């Protein structure tokens, strides 16, 4: 029985990992197609029918390229940093419930697990910048770490408000509380702040200051090439997928839609909601100008942090007095 359960868990893990990797690969194609449509150009349309094989060609190109290690770099840490980022981005999916029956691990403290893993992702970035022995890479990594820490605080306060409402750290329980009303309706102001913080946490436009091409070339990954760069790329896009899924779990009711009369459609409902949030990432990249770094920090520390903290105080007082 133990061997059978282990095989089932291993098989489910492989399915989740392959789904995420294939989703990331074709998300790049969808992103380029949508951006080209907004900018009134064609986009990828040469490799395969309507460019559908372009992600596979890009992956093959990165796989066959030489990994160049700078002469003054710390080789072991330089190669280890992208592996940390990629592995941690996949570990986050272990507690994500894709439906009422598709769940790898139903941890009672799922929120704390996500906090722990997401905070460790900082180490991959800072090690990449430091081990490269490049000023551009090191400055980019410092920017990334400062930005991630700043907006993790506001995201943490927003998640605490959800925990106060549901009295649970379990993701499955949080979704179950939204069977009849999704949390984004009563919590709309902090839902908007979560969306903005989500963009900043994943270093995406308009908050992609660590990769500001006009200043720091390509940020912390400027010295990377080949599969090392591809691992950073996959880790970043996997984090975008995860944050979109996390937003669906916290505010959009997970797999619930019109009480879901059929269980087999739950993963498709969940996936459709995730795609809506993915579109926000793409739209923001096409439509919004980039923030200055001082504006980014001011927004995180002087606007979002006080507002979310005041919201927690108000919500906890309301619960104690009236509920």
- Are 38 and 179 found together in one domain? no
pLDDT in tens, 89-141: 888 888 888 877 777 777 888 899 998 888 888 888 888 888 888 888 888 88
Provide CB contacts within 8 A for 52, sequence distance 6+.
29
Residues 92 and 212 reside in one and the same domain: yes
Distance in angstroms (rounded) separating the CA atoms of residues 129 and 133: 7
Distance CA 209, CA 191 (A): 23
Q: Do both 98 and 157 map to the same domain?
A: yes
Q: Are residues 101 and 153 in the same domain?
A: yes
Considering 5-19, 37-51, 286-300, 301-315, the range whose residues carry the highest mean pLDDT is 301-315
Between CA 311 and CA 168 the distance in angstroms is: 18
User: Does residue 273 sit in the same domain as residue 148?
Assistant: yes
Residues 59 and 79 in one domain: no
DSSP characters for 112-135?
Answer: HHHHHHHHHHHHHHHHHHHHTT-H
Say if residue 216's pLDDT is above 60. Answer: no
Is there a single domain that holds both residue 223 and residue 289?
Answer: yes
Percent of the chain topping pLDDT 90: 7
How many domains, in total, are found in the chain?
A: 2
Q: Tell me, yes or no, whether 122 and 201 share the same domain.
A: yes
HSE-CB for 158 with a 13 A CA cutoff: 25
- How much is the pLDDT for 64? 84
Answer for the pair 170, 103: CB distance below 8 angstroms, yes or no: no
Structural domain harbouring 165: 73-322
Residues 150, 281: Cα–Cα separation, whole Å:
20
| Same domain for 179 and 293 | yes
Which of 64, 89, 110 represents a domain boundary (last residue)?
64
CA gap 312, 317 in Å, rounded = 8
Chain Cα centroid distance, residue 198: 7
Cα maximum dimension of the chain: 65
Residues 297 and 168 grouped into a single domain: yes
Query: Interior CA angle at 251 toward 237 and 209, to 5°?
Result: 35
- Residue 317's alpha-carbon distances to 306, 312, 321, in angstroms, are 17, 8, 6
> What average pLDDT does range 147-158 have in this prediction?
88
Q: Per mean pLDDT, which range of 157-171, 213-227, 304-318 is the poorest?
A: 213-227
Round to whole Å and give the CA distance between 67 and 168.
45
Domain stops at, among 17, 45, 64: 64
Same domain? 246 vs 317: yes
Question: Residues 308, 193: contact at Cβ < 8 Å?
Answer: yes
DSSP secondary structure code for residue 46 in this structure: S
Question: Band of the pLDDT at 1, cuts 50, 70, 90?
Answer: low
Q: Distance (Å, rounded) from C-alpha 98 to C-alpha 96?
A: 6
Question: Taking CA 113 as the corner, what is the angle to CA 109 and CA 116, rounded to the nearest 5 degrees?
Answer: 140
Confidence of residue 259 (pLDDT cuts 50, 70, 90): low
End-to-end Cα, the chain, rounded Å: 45
Query: Cα 310 vs. chain centroid, distance in angstroms?
Result: 26
In whole angstroms, what is the distance from residue 165 CA to residue 208 CA?
33
Flag whether pLDDT at 2 surpasses 60.
yes
pLDDT digits (tens, 9 = 90+) for 88-97: 888 888 888 8
Domain end point (choices 47, 64, 81): 64
pLDDT at 78: 86
Residue 17: partners with Cβ closer than 8 Å, 6 or more residues away: 90, 93
* Residue 233 host element (H or E): helix 226-251
For 25, the token pair is: 């690969």
Question: In terms of domains, do 204 and 103 share one?
Answer: yes
């Amino acid at each position: 029985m133990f061997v059978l359960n282990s095989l089932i868990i291993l098989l489910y893990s492989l399915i989740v990992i392959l789904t995420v990797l294939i989703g990331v690969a074709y998300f790049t194609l969808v992103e380029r197609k949508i951006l080209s449509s907004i900018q009134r150009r064609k986009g990828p349309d040469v490799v395969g029918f309507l460019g559908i094989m372009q992600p596979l060609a890009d992956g093959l190109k990165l796989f066959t390229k030489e990994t160049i290690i700078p002469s003054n770099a710390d080789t072991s840490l330089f190669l280890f940093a992208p592996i940390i980022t990629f592995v941690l981005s996949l570990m986050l999916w272990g507690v994500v419930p894709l439906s009422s029956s598709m769940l790898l691990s139903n941890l009672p403290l799922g929120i704390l697990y996500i906090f722990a893993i997401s905070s460790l992702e900082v180490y991959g970035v800072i090690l990449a910048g430091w081990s490269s022995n490049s000023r551009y890479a090191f400055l980019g990594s410092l920017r990334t770490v400062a930005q991630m820490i700043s907006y993790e605080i506001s995201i943490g306060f927003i998640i605490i408000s959800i925990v106060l409402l549901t009295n649970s750290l379990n993701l499955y329980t949080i979704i179950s509380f939204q069977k009849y009303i999704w949390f984004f309706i009563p919590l709309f102001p902090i839902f908007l702040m979560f969306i903005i913080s989500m963009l900043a946490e994943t270093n995406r436009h308009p908050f992609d200051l660590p990769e500001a091409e006009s200043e720091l070339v390509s940020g912390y990954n400027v010295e990377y090439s080949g599969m090392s760069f591809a691992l950073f790329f996959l880790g970043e896009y996997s984090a975008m997928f995860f944050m979109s899924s996390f937003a669906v779990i916290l505010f959009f009711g997970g797999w619930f839609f019109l009480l879901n009369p059929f269980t087999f459609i739950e993963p498709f409902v969940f996936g459709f909601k995730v795609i809506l949030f993915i579109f926000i990432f793409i739209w923001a990249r096409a439509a919004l100008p980039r923030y200055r770094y001082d504006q980014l920090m001011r927004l995180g520390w002087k606007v979002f942090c006080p507002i979310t903290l005041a919201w927690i105080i108000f919500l906890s007082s309301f619960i104690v007095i009236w509920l």
